[in-house]
Amino acid sequence: MPSIHFRRFAKLLALGVMLASLAACSMPAFLSYPPQMRGDRIDSDQIKQLVPGTSTRADVTALVGSPTAKATFDDNTWIYISEVTKPEIGGTQSVLDQQVYLMTFDARGVLTVIQKKTMDDGKPVEMVSRTTPSPGTEASIIQQLLGNVGRFNAGSALSNPGAQGSATNPGNF
């Protein structure tokens, strides 16, 4: 008759094999979301039709459409952004591919520079977890709700006969 320790070991081994086999499996394609295209992808053939020094804003708009954004402090720089994303667990999006075109125009509206940026040109941004302190006391919700109870007495001005007719209290209402 096998010992209790051997049975326990066999069960743990079987559980470990099952977990390892599940971890090695990937999500079947029919259960996962397909990649999503965000923005309008600009083809290289369209870019070849734009000639710096001769193409104008109207030419660029007619060929590739309106820009996704304009530079914050420079209306002469147009930004076209497109990316392919795939939904992940928890509502986040993983970026599979990203393409950014920067088109700069001179004061006359003539295209001067076309720059292409990819994911490799991006720089990681770290989020800061600290919070900005606010002035005041650290009051609890109960203290905030009940903090003014008893501070104001509506009948105090009416019960004081000397206050009647003063500049702060012109009379009874």
> pLDDT for 21-48, tens place per residue?
655 555 556 667 788 888 888 888 899 9
Cα distances (angstroms) measured from residue 171 to each of 14, 144, 155, 156, 157: 89, 33, 14, 13, 10
Pair 60, 47: CB distance under 8 Å: no
Enter the pTM of the model: 0.55
Question: What are the structural domains, with CATH classification, of the chain?
Answer: 33-121 (3.30.1450)
- For residue 70, what are the β-bridge partners? 78
Q: What is the structure's pLDDT at 113? A: 94
- Asked if the model's pLDDT at residue 55 lies above 90, the reply is yes
> pLDDT for 88-134, tens place per residue?
777 788 888 889 999 999 999 999 999 999 888 888 888 888 887 77
Mean pLDDT for all residues in the chain: 79
